[in-house]
Every structure is written in C-alpha cells, then in structure tokens.
C-alpha cells in the first residue's frame, strides 16, 4: 500500500513539473517567437536597426543570466530552496511580461528594459526547474520524464498561441489587442507554474550551514565545484560543444519570426500559425529523440538532431515564399526539440546526483554565455550587411537615400546572409560533440556520487 501511495505521489509531482513547462513555454512561444519579437522590431523600432536592438536585448539578458546562474544553482543545492528561487524568478518573468503591455511605438528603451528583465527571470528560473528533475524522477526514467516534460510544455505553448491567434483574428490591426496578448501570456504562465510550487517536494534535506551565511557558503561551494569539475572531462567537453552549437539554436529560435516577416512577408496571423506548427513538430521531436536516446544513446540522439537542424537552416537560405518557410520551420522545430531536450538529459547523466543544481548552473552558464554571442551576431550581421549595402548603393548613385524599395531589398539580403552564422555555429558544435564519450561521463558521475555518499556515511 505504501508503495502505491509513493507511486501516486511521484506521479502527481511529475505532472506538477510538466505543468510548469506547460506555462513556461507560453512565454517562449508568444514573447520570443510569435508576437513580441516582431512587434518590437516592426512596431516599436519600425526600421532595419530593430534586428540589431533585438539581438542586443537578448545579449544583455543572457549575459546577466550567465553571471548569476551558477551561483544561484550552488546556493539552491546547499539550502535546498530550489522551489523558492524558482518562485522568485518566475514571478519576475510574469511581472515584466505583463508590463510589456505598456510598450508602444517609439518606446525603444522601455521595450528593451522590460523584455530584458522578463528574459532574466525566465532563463534563471529554468536553472531551478531543470534541477528539480531528479526530485521527481528516478534515474532510470529521467530521459522519459524530461522528454515528456518538453512535449507537454510545447502543447502549452500551442494552446496559448491558439488563444492569442483568436484574439488577434477577432481584432485585426489592433495594436492594443496585440499588447493584451502579452498580459494573457503572463497570467497563463503564472497559473500553470503554481502546481510545481505547491506539490513538488525536494527530497534531500538542507545541509548544516556551519555558522556561515548562504552567500559565503555559495561562493565556497562554487569554487569547490569549479575545482572538482575538472575531473568530469566528458561533462567539460560536452559543455564546450554546447557552448558553440547552442549559439546557432538560440539565434534561430529568437529570429525565426523576424526572418519570416522580413524575408517572406509573413503576417502576424501567419506567424502565429507558423509557431503553432513548429510547436507541434516540437512535441513529436521531443518524444522521438527521447526514445532514440534510450535505444542508441543520448549523444547519438543529439548528433542526429543537430544534423537535421543544419539541413533545415541551410534550406532556409535558398527557399522563397511562405509555404516552403512553413515546411522548413516544421522540420527545424522537430530537430530543435531533440537538441534542447536531449542536451538537458545529458546534464543529468553527467552530474553526480547530489550536485545537480550546480551542474545545471554550469549548463545554464554555457548555454547563456553562448546565447550572448549568437543572437548578437545574427542581429548585427543582418542590420550591418543591410546598412552596408544601402550605403554602397547610395554612394554609387544606383538608388536614392530613403528609397523604401531599396531599404526592403537590402534588409532581405542582410537577413539571408546572416543565416550563415547559424549554420557555422551548429557545424562547429557538432564537430566538438563527436569527442564526447557518454559512457565514460556517466561512469564518472556514478563514481563521484558513491564517493560523496561514502564520505557522509
């Protein structure tokens, strides 16, 4: 009977964990993908430089997260207050997402600041959400639970986008309604994050503080982890690979809607439909690559997803028209699910169980550090090439300054060439991933955990 109760409790906690992703994904779908990115670029900035400012906003947010994530992860592991930190960061993301409603045409600084703060909360919260995986899943089911969480999260993004699509369709051309979708997204995120806060129980009791405050303890433990992580060679090699390929993934994700609007003239409604399609293939991809990982190894699963992602991005450089864009986006969504969900699973495999939050902190550090570069390069490459072409054409007398047709054409050329940067990041990251040995990494984590438990006994 007690085993049955324990199983029901675990299932309830797993569903609470899934539901957080269900709400969390709405932010990614609406703010990063379908609505706010394009609204900021075309509605707030209203010019080619919007891509550069969007990339700059992402870079600043990722830089902050890269600095604080490993420290917060260490602190959470020691105090066993991962849920408390998750609540704080989620509240921050929800609050500033809702405040994006007040951003209107010309409010460039306000639009950047509010988005940066929302993004910091969203990204930092993922450190603690990911680290709770080992509290809700046994070692032999981590891959399945992680993949299922990713799939259910994508469904949450789809449901939110359907509501947003209805709001915009019923009020075409109404910017107030577009801004109201951001308020709806904030409330949606909040509601579905509550079960995780109320139901999930952290299994490991807090350690004794030994008279030190948590700040000193966190610094001390972080230094210790930095020193000890040297022995986790496969984890380090994996982090280096992720540092590179994640640049391409984040740049593709954060600029997908802008690419669609600039290159193919996709409307607001079409963009939402596009993201819904991408989210659907994302659900399928997360399940498929989790199964592949269990059967052939998570590294091999990750390699396959990266190869498919590269093919999709290369195709994006040569296609024309909305329909090919939708098809390539669907393939990219399928592949991206594999890259991101399998990467998350590999961290839990390479990390000693008692140090999961610290390792996820380093996972976030690598991911956010790489994310500093990718979106920035993509944004500045697109706007920089566009500006250079326009200046060259004006200087040679081929067009007049301010020509709307010339601005449109040069902006398209700039964004198409900027896509090359995504391919380069993915290829280099893939090459480095080939040197990672999954079996040795898992064994090193098991040996380290056994040693930690032996010292405590």
pLDDT single digits (tens) 283-297: 788 778 878 887 888
Which residues, including other chains, have CB under 8 Å from residue 65's CB and lie 6 or more apart?
119, 120, 123, 124, 364, 368
Residue 241 has pLDDT above 60, yes or no: yes
Of the candidates 258, 344, 257, 335, the residue with the CA atom closest to the CA atom of residue 303: 335
Sequence-distant (6+) residues with CB within 8 A of 449 are 352, 353, 354
- Buried/exposed code over 289-326 (b: 16+ C-beta within 10 A; e: otherwise): bbebbbeebbbebbbbbbebbbbbbbebeeeeebeebb
Asked whether residue 163 carries a pLDDT value surpassing 70, the answer given is yes
Mean of pLDDT values over 134-144: 76
Of residues 62 and 224, more confidence is placed in 62
| pLDDT tens, position by position, 355-376 | 776 777 677 667 666 667 777 7
Candidate ranges 85-99, 145-159, 397-411; pick with highest mean pLDDT? 85-99
Query: Is 1's pLDDT higher than 50?
Result: no
Distances (CA, A) of 410 to 39, 389, 440: 21, 6, 50
Mean pLDDT of 13-37: 91
Model pLDDT, residue 357: 65
Give the position of tokens 């207050």: 81
Q: pTM here?
A: 0.78
Q: What pLDDT score was predicted for residue 206?
A: 56
d(CA 265, CA 259): 9
Predicted confidence at residue 317, as pLDDT, reads 85
Q: What distance in Å separates the CA atoms of residue 216 and residue 407, rounded to the nearest whole number?
A: 54
Give me the phi and psi of 143, to 5 degrees please. Answer: -60, -45
pLDDT over threshold 60, residue 253: yes
What mean pLDDT do residues 378-404 have?
78
Q: Any idea which residue has 């301010």 for tokens?
A: 402
Tell me what the mean pLDDT of segment 243-264 comes to: 84
Q: What tens digit of pLDDT does each residue of 180-237 get?
A: 999 999 999 999 999 999 998 877 655 555 556 666 776 776 677 677 667 788 888 9
Q: State the DSSP string of 337-368.
A: HHHHHHHHHHHHHHS-GGGHHHHHHHHHHHHH
Domains of the chain in sequence order: 7-198+219-456 (1.20.1250.20)
434 has pLDDT over 70: yes
CB 377 within 8 A of CB 254: no
**What local confidence, expressed as pLDDT, does residue 429 receive?**
93
Checking if the pLDDT of 403 tops 80, the result is no
Residue 119 has pLDDT above 80, yes or no: yes
CA dist., res. 229 & res. 399, Å (int):
58
For 44, which DSSP code? I
Confidence at residue 222, expressed as pLDDT on a 0 to 100 scale: 67
Sign of CA dihedral 53, 59, 60, 61: positive
Residues 5-16 have a mean pLDDT of 84
DSSP 397: T
């Amino acid at each position: 009977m007690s085993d049955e109760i324990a199983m029901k409790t675990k299932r309830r906690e797993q569903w609470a964990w899934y539901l957080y992703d269900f709400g969390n994904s709405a932010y990614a779908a609406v703010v990063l993908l379908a609505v706010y990115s394009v609204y900021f670029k075309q509605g707030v900035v209203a010019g080619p430089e919007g891509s550069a400012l969007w990339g700059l906003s992402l870079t600043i947010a990722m830089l902050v997260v890269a600095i604080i994530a490993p420290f917060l992860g260490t602190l959470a592991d020691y105090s066993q207050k991962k849920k408390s930190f998750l609540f704080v960061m989620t509240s921050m993301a929800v609050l500033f997402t809702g405040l994006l409603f007040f951003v209107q045409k010309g409010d460039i600084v306000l639009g950047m600041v509010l988005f940066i703060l929302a993004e910091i909360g969203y990204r930092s919260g993922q450190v603690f959400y990911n680290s709770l995986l080992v509290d809700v899943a046994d070692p032999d089911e981590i891959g399945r639970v992680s993949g299922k969480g990713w799939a259910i999260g994508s469904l949450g993004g789809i449901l939110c986008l359907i509501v947003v699509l209805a709001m915009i369709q019923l009020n075409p051309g109404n910017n107030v309604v577009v801004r109201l979708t951001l308020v709806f997204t904030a409330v949606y995120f909040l509601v579905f994050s509550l079960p995780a806060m109320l139901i999930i129980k952290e299994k490991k009791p807090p350690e004794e503080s030994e008279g030190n405050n948590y700040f000193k303890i966190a610094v001390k433990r972080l230094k210790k982890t930095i020193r000890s992580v040297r022995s986790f060679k496969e984890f380090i090699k994996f982090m280096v690979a992720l540092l590179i390929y994640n640049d391409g993934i984040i740049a593709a994700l954060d600029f997908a809607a802008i690419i669609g609007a600039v290159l193919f003239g996709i409307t607001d409604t079409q963009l939402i439909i596009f993201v819904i399609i991408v989210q659907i293939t994302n659900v399928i991809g997360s399940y498929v690559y989790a199964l592949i990982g269990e059967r052939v190894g998570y590294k091999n699963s990750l390699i396959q997803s990266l190869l498919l992602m590269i093919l999709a991005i290369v195709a994006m450089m040569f296609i024309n028209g909305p329909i090919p864009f939708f098809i390539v986006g669907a393939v990219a969504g399928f592949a991206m699910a594999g890259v991101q969900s399998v990467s998350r699973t590999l961290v839990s495999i390479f990390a000693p169980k008692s140090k999961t939050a610290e390792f996820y902190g380093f996972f976030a550090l690598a991911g956010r550090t790489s994310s500093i570069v990718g979106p920035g390069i993509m944004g500045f490459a697109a706007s920089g090439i566009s500006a250079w072409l326009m200046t060259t054409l004006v200087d040679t007398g081929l067009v007049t300054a301010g020509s709307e047709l010339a601005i449109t054409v040069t902006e398209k050329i700039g964004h198409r060439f900027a896509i090359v940067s995504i391919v380069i990041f993915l290829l280099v990251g893939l090459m480095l991933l080939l040197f990672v040995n999954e079996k040795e990494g898992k064994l090193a984590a098991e040996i380290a955990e056994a040693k930690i438990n032996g010292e405590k006994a």
